[in-house]
Chain A
Amino acid sequence: MPKPDSTEFDTYLLNGLPTKHLRGQTIAELLVEKEATGLGVAVERNQQVVKSAEHGQTRIEVGDRIEIVRLVGGG
């Protein structure tokens, strides 16, 4: 399979790091790619929470700041 042309990628910030993703990728697809699904995961896009019901429809745009967080031990 030929590699996708670089023009099909957009750059955005994922957890503070510049990252490339396929144009049109949704939050839901990103979570599957990162194996970050299920209880204890939440997503923020440009400092606004994206509710889990909206993950499937929310497409990542160029320049977006996406945060994926989870629960860890803490006091």
Chain B
Amino acid sequence: MGAGKLQVIMTDSTLIAADEPLVLGEFSFKSRLFLGTGKYTTYPLMRDALDISGTECVTVAVRRIPENEPAGERFLDFLDTERYTILPNTAGCFDAESAIRTSRLAREMLNTNLIKLEVLGDQKTLLPEPVDTLKATEVLVAEGFTVLVYTSDDVMQAKRLQEAGATAVMPAGAPIGSGQGILNPLNLRLIIEQATVPIIVDAGVGQSSDVAIAMELGSHGVLMNTAVAAADDPIRMARAVRNACSAGRDSFLAGRMDKRMYASASSPQSNLITS
């Protein structure tokens, strides 16, 4: 047996164990993938996609009960609240006040301080409204919420939000549900470089390679919904993004090579049969 086979330096399981969990307030996650629960054509499809994605934390929305609802399948019957940490959002809120009220209702409903804060600017772009986002962050932090806050990929706004006490800052890769990927990798790198809290890319991811790119840039996690729910095969896409998330994380931790202008041979250049 050759000497190379005697000494195992690292195994798959030691590499996995060597990575830190992602800590958000009192919560700790091994999976760095966060999935939404909207837009699935059926609840069983959602349940199975969440299952195969390996996610440990899923987002939900808060809405008025409908006036007259036909009896049928209920959303919560397909969501294992023992298995997943439930992250309620304030999606659809366009001012600080309604986002704060929605957060308080979510806390009452789920007995959780976790909130994914979204305060949006307009219907067309669904881009975050920076002033009210900051205001709502300050109020909710003061009320003891663990605030994960959605923002555009603005470096200074990300800084203001972490200074305001956000537990995590969640910059958009691209507009919500647009599937355009990470449109400004430079901004994302700058946000990550100055971050004192976890940075989770939220929104805009369209496919697994976008997840890998976000993680390779050093994002601490990725949150997505439409890319999985609106894929032709959501369950296969859920598996793809799970793999991409861990691949991207490994790639980031491993540290990429420097780019070079010219080629550099991988095989020895000496002792060729033609030399």
The answer to whether A and B belong to the same complex is yes
Binding site for B on A (CB under 8 A): 15-17, 34, 36, 39-44, 47, 49, 51-52, 67-75
When distances are taken between beta carbons in the complex, the residues of chain B under 8 Å from A51 are 108
Contact B36 A69 (CB under 8 A): no
Name A73's contact: one of B40, B81, B104, B176 (CB within 8 Å): B40
How would you classify the secondary structure of chain B's contact residues: helix, strand, loop or mixed? mixed
Grouping DSSP codes into helix (H, G, I), strand (E, B) and loop, the A interface class, with mixed when no group exceeds half, is strand
Number of A-B contacts (CB under 8 A): 94
What are the residues of chain B within 8 A of A43 when measuring CB–CB?
A: 108
Q: Is the CB of A72 within 8 A of B63?
A: yes
Contact B61 A72 (CB under 8 A): yes
- Tell me the B residues contacting A by CB distance below 8 Å: 36-40, 46, 59-65, 67, 75-76, 81, 86, 88-89, 91, 101, 104-110, 176-177, 203, 223-226
**Closest residue of chain B to A52, judged by CB?**
B108
Extra A-B contacts (17), CB below 8 Å, given A70-B64, A71-B110, A75-B36: A16-B64, A41-B65, A42-B62, A44-B101, A49-B107, A69-B62, A69-B63, A69-B64, A69-B109, A70-B65, A70-B109, A71-B86, A74-B89, A74-B91, A75-B39, A75-B176, A75-B203
Q: Which of B75, B86, B224, B225 contacts A72 (CB 8 A)?
A: B75
A14 to chain B, nearest CB (A): 9
Min CB distance A40 to B, Å, is 5
Q: How far is the CB of B91 from chain A (nearest CB, A)?
A: 5
* Of A36, A39, A73, the contact of B38 (CB 8 Å cutoff): A73
